Amino acid sequence: MRENLHRFFRAARGAGVRVSPAESIDAMRAVADIGFSDRGILKDTLLLTLAKTREEKQSLGECFELFFDHPELDKPPSDAADDTSGDEAQDEPKADNDNSPGDSSGAGDSHSGEGMPELGALAQMLMSQDRNEIATVIAQAANAAQLSEIRYFTQRGLFSTRMLDLMGIARLRDDIDALTTANPSEAERLAAATQGLRDSVREAVSQALLLYGREESENLRNDILRNAPMARLDPRQVKEMQALIRMIARRLRERYSKPRKRQRRGHLDVRRTLRRNAAWGGVPFLTTWKRRHRDKPRIVAICDVSGSVARVSDFFLLLIHSLHEVVSDVRSFAFSGHLIEVSDILKTKSPEEAMSEIMSKAGFGSSDYGRSFADFEKSWLNIVTPKTTVIVLGDARTNNLDPRADILRRIGERSKRLVWLNPEGRMAWGWGDSEMPRYATFCSVVRQCTNARQLERAVSDIVAAYQ
């Protein structure tokens, strides 16, 4: 039971369910009380002890059904003699070469008549069509072959071969060859059963890959996606990138939203400690610590959502507002030709609805940075204080219009930091209508953010500055 549950916990983690050591211990104790006899109760028990959200409950339920669904052996085609009724079989005498599948007591009893080869244990099992025994042998071979270690689809053939070898496929092939000479019809029947065995083993390996290889496959896919240019994703990759951005946001929340330990008191203030303990001859019974003041996080995000960078802006806004547990004060703005505030849209609507509404109001136009900066200065410059981090996401391509770098300079002077994230490669900065070199003069930090990895690192550094 313990080994099976450990494998199930590993499969559950691969399905995206966070299972802590304490939760796994609770689940094992609960299963020890209710047992494995009732599958429905077992499933409910694991869902109650492990799942923490509706999404995790659904993923865990699917994982449970897959984990405890044992593939059945394909039934080989029956011979005409198998259609004989039980009464007729008792009345008629058996021929010397009768190969009745009902008796699986041993090779010598079933297939060792005159002129018949003695079959191995696996061949007898297949001829007898004992599904439970064959399923047990497949499970034992899976354990012996360490099937739970499968990670990649390229390993399916390796584990299938390893399991069949452990079950005795070599002896089975010899039995088929020997039986072909003595009794071709029985050899054909055994060959069909062998093919069913191979299919069942392949199904067991494929099921194990779904259970145990999902995490590695997802990690590999996400690693490729992290480094893919966000501006050149196809529609299928856009959905995958949205899921990846949510995962990145969750990881950043877990990293930075943990409450600070109260015991983290900073450095000892020697002067104040000695003064405070003067009554005890300077013995430091009472200590005084230097505490580091931390500003409350404040972020203003200004995003270019013109046609050239609209997709990157979607991901950026999604990431920023997924961090509301870390950054309590976030104001977001979007622009192409005019600037509008989109904070309420992002906070009250689903990501898909929010992005659609933002793009319908401000997206896909020709970017006019100078006019948009002027809109911000006129209506919202007062929200920028010495505690505010202002983030601008855009390619700085002004369509040869007035860039109004003077307004950006004033924004930078009022803020704690002015960070510019550019979704174009550095080699393109300053070419054509790009005003990035001029804007960079007034920025505290300038980063290239062409992919999710760079975007995650940039946002992580911004949030970490408040910790």
Say which amino acid occupies 201: V
**pLDDT score for 419:** 94
Percentage of residues in the chain having pLDDT higher than 70: 84
**pLDDT score for 253:** 74
**Residue 139 CB-half CA count within 13 A:** 14
User: What is the spatial distance between Cα 136 and Cα 138, in angstroms, rounded to a whole number?
Assistant: 5
Mean pLDDT of 158-176: 91
This prediction's pTM = 0.59
pLDDT tens per residue, range 72-87: 444 444 443 344 344 4
pLDDT tens per residue, range 346-404: 888 877 788 888 888 988 888 999 999 999 999 999 999 998 999 999 999 999 999 99
CATH architecture of the domain with range 298-464: 3-Layer(aba) Sandwich (3.40)
**pLDDT score for 303:** 92
Say which amino acid occupies 197: L
The band of 333, judged by pLDDT with boundaries at 50, 70 and 90, is very high
Mean pLDDT of 237-253: 80
User: What is the spatial distance between Cα 140 and Cα 164, in angstroms, rounded to a whole number?
Assistant: 11
Domain edges within the chain: 2-67, 298-464
User: What is the spatial distance between Cα 448 and Cα 436, in angstroms, rounded to a whole number?
Assistant: 11
**pLDDT score for 436:** 96
Least trusted range by pLDDT, from 255-259, 351-355, 405-409, 431-435: 255-259
The band of 104, judged by pLDDT with boundaries at 50, 70 and 90, is very low
Q: Can you read off the two tokens belonging to residue 87?
A: 């009464």
The band of 442, judged by pLDDT with boundaries at 50, 70 and 90, is very high
Beta strands in 158-310 (DSSP E): 267-268, 289-290, 298-304
> What single DSSP character describes residue 183?
-
